[in-house]
């Protein structure tokens, strides 16, 4: 978002301030709505997290007990590990694939526009609907994926029914959904590249790989960081895909923080404990985002 | 550079072959990168047009022969798909309309008062898991007896639609030239008149993009409907998950329902190809 230029008419002092104040009235209705459905839930969550409160029964104050219980809870700690594992894969894989796709779509070729539109379709498709189709594709006996494996001579896989493969399989769906977003972001970066460095490097006999590694990559790095930040925030919060395809199973093998949160809140209606999970969860997301933004600042200077 | 001793014609021939190979390799990479996207949708279509016997045979049947619309008919006649479709339109439509009513002026105010700090709020909202809004709102709705109503769903979907509209509109109003507005103001128009009759007509493209994005994100949301809706008030994604997976395990109707949910979104996407990125990166709350 660019900051707009100063008014060209250079009005009298005080006039501008008065006008700015009248603009604030435009924001009031939205602030009321945002206050009610966004800010109020934040504050109410923090308040609820200090209570032992199950919906339907009386709440009583327990201070920080919910938090101390959580950080010693094996299942919660495991869910954090699952979340980090899932996030790492679901950030790195789409970044690599998305960048490759961006390099491909940056070139001119017949029906490029159409193919790019096709490639970006998964991004907007309703996650639940697509997750159901993937569930059928993952089916170990009748699923089409195992048939495809058999075509290239590979043994069938258990996919989401195997405790070790479930997270990578879910990441496969995530990559399918979100590599296009990375592609579009990086493509925006590629479009802004200057041509001169390439010309002089070619004259010096640089190979295609060298051009990519020493010119393209550093120049699109800021865009990759943006993509990484967004991907991280979304991957940490991933819910629909996991909930529909594996429900956190088999056992708790793919139970991420968000799945654990859902269980506490809407299976056990333990809203006090769930609120404490939310607070810790948000702290984790914020910490990750800050780390990545720090990386971004560093990337700007080198 | 070992080919330096070869005669000129052979060199040119080899270069031509290499160029051709490179072209084929590039075409292959395009196919590899695009095919997963299209194949999943085609498989979805194939499942929805086949009868249950063909859907469960192994090796799988790819092309439905003959294609049947039985799955679609079943989904609408036995599972009240029409009702859920209508619920989704009401919830996403109303949530988008309310968001437009408060979000367009807000975007204008933020752009003209240069109050970009307000958009930080939207950024934090973007980072918060959607489930965390749901717990407090669910508790409050429970208190007021609003759970299982469309009203509760519309209110909750504002969490998705308002930030998108405000963000898109603030960005759009900033790109508009101020000269026209200033001219109107000098002619004695009030701030509201300037907004209503000068700025808003100019911002129509932004309004269209914001509307479509807000509607899509609201339409795609699953978890709000899954938690807050009752049997008769489910939105489409929640209905597809709850009704079809638990009450029947047939693949054909499931794929047909998945198409009914996704198709409107894919059609809307065509109109805003280029602006999608903005919505996805800075827009509203999505996912869980």
Q: What's the CATH number where B156 sits?
A: 1.10.3720.10
User: Which residue on chain B is closest to A27 by alpha carbon?
Assistant: B106
Q: Where in the sequence is the domain holding B14, given as residue range(s)?
A: 2-56
CB atoms within 10 A of CB A59: 15
Same domain, A81 and A160: yes
- pLDDT given at position B9: 72
pTM above 0.95? no
* Same domain, residue pair B83 and B35: no
Residues B31 and B149 in one domain: no
Domain stops at, among B13, B30, B56:
B56
Nearest CB to B106; choose among A4, A30, A115: A30
Do A40 and A161 reside in the same domain of the chain?
no
Higher pLDDT among residues B116 and A119, named by residue:
A119
Q: Are B194 and B180 in contact (CB under 8 A)?
A: no
* In a shared domain, residues B78 and B49: no
Q: Contact B239/B84 with Cβ under 8 angstroms?
A: yes
Compare all CA atoms of chain B with the CA of A23 and give the residue at the minimum distance. B109
Query: Which positions 82-101 of B are in contact with A (Cβ < 8 Å)?
Result: 98-99, 101
B-chain residue closest to A112, CA distance: B30
- A5 within some domain: no
Q: Looking at the complex, does the CB of residue A45 fall below 8 Å from at least one CB of chain B?
A: yes
Q: Do residues A105 and A193 share a domain?
A: yes
Q: Which of residues 171-210 of B touch A (CB under 8 A)?
A: 171, 174, 178-179, 182, 191, 195
DSSP A12: P
Could you give the CA distance from residue A32 to residue A121 in angstroms, rounded to a whole number? Answer: 35
Are residues A124 and A34 located together in one domain of the fold? no
Looking at the structure, do residues B194 and B128 belong to the same domain, yes or no? yes
Let me know if residue B251 belongs to a domain. yes
Does A100 reside within a domain? yes
Q: Encode burial over B231-244: b for 16+ CB neighbours within 10 A, e otherwise.
A: eebbbbbbbbbbbb
CA distance B122 to B130: 13
Q: Does residue A3 sit within a domain?
A: no
Which residues of chain B from 228 to 267 reach within 8 Å of chain A, CB to CB?
236-238, 240-241, 244-245, 251, 254-255, 257-259, 261-262, 265-266
pLDDT at A101 over 90: yes
- Total count of domains within chain A: 2
Is B233 inside any structural domain? yes
> Which of B131, B138, B263, B265 to mutate against chain A (most A CBs within 10 Å)?
B131
- Does one domain contain both A61 and A152? no
Residues of A in contact with B280 (CB under 8 A): 123, 181, 230
The tens digit of pLDDT for each residue in A168-212 reads: 999 999 999 999 989 988 988 898 888 888 888 988 988 888 999
Domain boundary among A23, A40, A65: A65
Q: Is residue A152 part of a domain?
A: yes
Residues 18-37 of chain B with CB under 8 A from chain A are 26-27, 29-30, 33-34, 36-37
For residues B28 and B131, state if they share a domain: no
Contact indicator for B195, A26 with CB cutoff of 8 Å: yes
Verify that A107 and A146 share a domain, yes or no: yes
Would B63 be classed as within a structural domain? Answer: no
Locate B270 and state its tokens. Answer: 């065509």
Indicate whether B32 belongs to any domain.
yes
CA distance B285 to B157: 10
One domain for residues B92 and B39:
no
Classify residue A10: in a domain, yes or no: no
Instruction: Classify burial at A92, counting beta carbons within 10 Å of its beta carbon; exposed 0-12, middle 13-18, buried 19 or more.
Output: middle
What total number of domains does chain B contain? Answer: 2
Domain identity same for B37 and B78: no
Q: What is the pLDDT of residues A104-118, one digit of tens each?
A: 999 888 888 888 888
pLDDT tens sequence for chain B (288 residues): 444 555 667 777 888 888 889 889 899 999 999 999 999 999 999 999 988 778 777 778 888 878 888 888 888 887 788 899 999 999 999 999 999 999 999 999 988 887 777 777 777 887 888 888 998 998 889 889 888 899 999 999 999 999 889 988 988 888 888 888 888 888 888 888 999 998 999 888 889 888 988 999 999 999 999 888 888 899 999 988 876 665 556 888 889 989 999 999 988 887 776 666 665 665 545 544
A190 and A287 assigned to the same domain: yes
Point out the domain boundary residue: B56, B80, B98.
Answer: B56
Is residue B132 within 8 A of residue B224, CB to CB? The reply is no
Q: Which of B31, B33, B96, B282 to mutate to test the interface with A (most CBs of A within 10 A)?
A: B33
Cβ A265–B262 below 8 Å, yes or no? Answer: no
- Claim to verify: residue B14 and residue B119 sit in the same structural domain: no
pLDDT over 70 percentage in chain A: 92
Residue B247 and residue B163 in one domain: yes
Percent with pLDDT over 90 in chain A: 37
Question: Are the beta carbons of B34 and A118 separated by less than 8 Å?
Answer: yes
B109 interfaces chain A, CB cutoff of 8 Å: yes
pLDDT value for A275? 93
- Token pair 């879910």 is found at A170
Mean pLDDT of A118-143: 89
* Distance (Å, whole) CA A133 – CA A245: 9
Query: How many angstroms separate the CA atoms of B212 and A37, rounded?
Result: 21
Residues A238, A254 contacting (CB under 8 angstroms)? no
Residues B135 and B211 both lie in one domain: yes
Two tokens at B180?
């026209």
Radius of gyration over alpha carbons of chain A, in Å?
24
User: Chain B: nearest CA to A130, how far in angstroms?
Assistant: 7
Is residue A200 included in any domain, yes or no? yes
Please tell me the distance from the alpha carbon of residue A149 to that of residue A237, in angstroms, as a whole number.
31
Distances (CA, A) of B237 to A255, A289, B240: 22, 30, 5
Which pLDDT score is estimated for A140?
Answer: 86
Whether A168 and A44 map to the same domain: the answer is no
A51 and A103 belong to one structural domain? no
- Across the interface, whether the CB atoms of B174 and A1 are under 8 A apart is answered yes
CB–CB of B191 and A19 under 8 A?
yes
Residue B84 contacts residue B236 (beta carbons within 8 Å): yes
| CA B140-B145-B151 angle, 5° bins | 80
Would you say residue A185 lies in a domain? yes
Q: What is the DSSP letter of A54?
A: B
Q: Which of B26, B113, B255 lies at the smallest CB-CB distance from A133?
A: B255
Q: Are B142 and B199 contacting, i.e. CB atoms less than 8 angstroms apart?
A: no
Separation of first and last alpha carbons in chain B:
56
Average pLDDT, chain A: 86
3-class SS shares of chain B: helix, strand, coil, % to 5: 80, 0, 20
Q: Are residues A73 and A222 in the same domain?
A: yes
CATH, residue A188: 1.10.3720.10
Inter-chain touch B37–A118, beta carbons under 8 Å: yes
Residue B147 lies in a domain: yes
SS3 content of chain A, % helix, strand, coil (to 5): 75, 0, 25
Predicted local confidence at residue A5, as pLDDT: 43
The rounded distance, in Å, linking the Cα atoms of A24 and B115 is 9
Write out the residue range of the structural domain in which residue A57 sits.
Answer: 15-65
The token duo for B35 is 């095919």
Domain end, chosen from A23, A39, A65, is at A65
Q: Which residues of chain A from 98 to 137 reach within 8 Å of chain B, CB to CB? A: 100-101, 104, 107, 109, 115, 117-130, 132-134, 136-137
Of B12, B30, B56, the one marking the end of a domain is: B56
A230 part of a folded domain: yes
Select from A27, A129, A266 the Cβ nearest to the Cβ of B106.
A27
């Amino acid at each position: 978002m660019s900051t707009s230029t100063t008014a060209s008419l250079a009005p009298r002092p005080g006039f501008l301030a008065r006008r700015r104040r009248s603009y604030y009235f435009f924001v009031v209705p939205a602030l009321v709505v945002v206050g009610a459905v966004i800010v109020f839930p934040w504050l109410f969550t923090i308040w609820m997290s200090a209570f032992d409160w199950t919906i339907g029964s009386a709440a009583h104050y327990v201070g920080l007990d919910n938090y101390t219980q959580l950080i010693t809870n094996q299942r919660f700690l495991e869910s954090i590990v699952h979340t980090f594992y899932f996030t790492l894969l679901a950030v790195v894989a789409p970044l690599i694939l998305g960048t490759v796709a961006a390099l491909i779509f940056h070139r001119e070729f017949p029906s490029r526009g159409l193919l790019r539109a096709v490639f970006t379709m998964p991004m907007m498709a309703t996650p639940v609907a697509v997750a159901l189709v993937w569930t059928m594709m993952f089916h170990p006996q009748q699923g089409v994926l195992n048939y495809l494996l058999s075509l290239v001579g590979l043994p069938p896989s258990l996919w989401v029914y195997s405790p070790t493969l479930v997270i990578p399989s879910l990441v496969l769906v995530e990559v399918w959904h979100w590599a296009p977003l990375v592609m579009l972001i990086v493509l925006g970066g590629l479009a802004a590249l200057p041509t001169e460095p390439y010309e002089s490097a070619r004259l010096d006999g640089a190979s295609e790989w060298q051009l990519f590694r020493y010119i393209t990559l550093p120049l699109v790095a800021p865009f990759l960081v943006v993509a990484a930040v967004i991907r991280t925030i979304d991957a940490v919060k991933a819910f629909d895909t996991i909930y529909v395809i594996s429900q956190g199973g088999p056992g708790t093998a793919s139970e991420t923080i968000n799945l654990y949160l859902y269980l506490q809140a809407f299976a056990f209606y333990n809203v006090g404990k769930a609120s404490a999970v939310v607070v810790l969860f948000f702290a984790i997301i914020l910490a990750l985002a800050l780390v990545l933004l720090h990386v971004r600042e560093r990337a700007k200077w080198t | 550079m070992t080919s330096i001793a070869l005669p000129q014609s052979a060199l040119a021939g080899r270069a031509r072959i290499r160029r051709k190979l490179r072209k084929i390799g590039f075409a292959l990479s395009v196919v590899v990168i695009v095919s997963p996207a299209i194949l999943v949708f085609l498989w979805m279509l194939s499942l929805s047009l086949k009868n249950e016997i063909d859907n469960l045979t192994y090796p799988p049947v790819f092309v439905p022969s003959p294609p049947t619309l039985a799955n679609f008919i079943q989904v609408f006649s036995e599972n009240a798909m029409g009702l859920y479709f209508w619920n989704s339109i009401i919830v996403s439509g109303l949530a988008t309309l309310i968001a437009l009513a408060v979000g367009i002026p807000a975007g204008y105010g933020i752009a003209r008062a240069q109050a970009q700090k307000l958009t930080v709020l939207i950024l934090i909202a973007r980072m918060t898991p959607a489930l965390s809004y749901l717990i407090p709102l669910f508790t409050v709705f429970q208190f007021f007896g609003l759970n299982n109503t469309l009203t509760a769903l519309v209110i909750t979907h504002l969490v998705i639609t308002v930030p998108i509209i405000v963000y898109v509109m603030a960005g759009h109003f900033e790109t508009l030239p101020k000269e026209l507005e200033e001219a109107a103001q000098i002619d004695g128009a009030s701030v509201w008149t300037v907004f209503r009759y000068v700025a808003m007509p100019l911002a129509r493209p932004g309004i269209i993009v914001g509307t479509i994005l807000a509607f899509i994100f609201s339409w795609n949301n699953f978890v709000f409907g899954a938690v807050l809706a009752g049997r008769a008030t489910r939105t489409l994604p929640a209905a597809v998950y709850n009704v079809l997976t638990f009450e029947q395990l047939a693949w054909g109707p499931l794929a047909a329902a998945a198409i009914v949910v996704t198709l409107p979104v894919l059609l809307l996407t065509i109109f805003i190809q280029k602006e999608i990125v903005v919505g996805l990166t800075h827009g509203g709350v999505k996912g869980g």
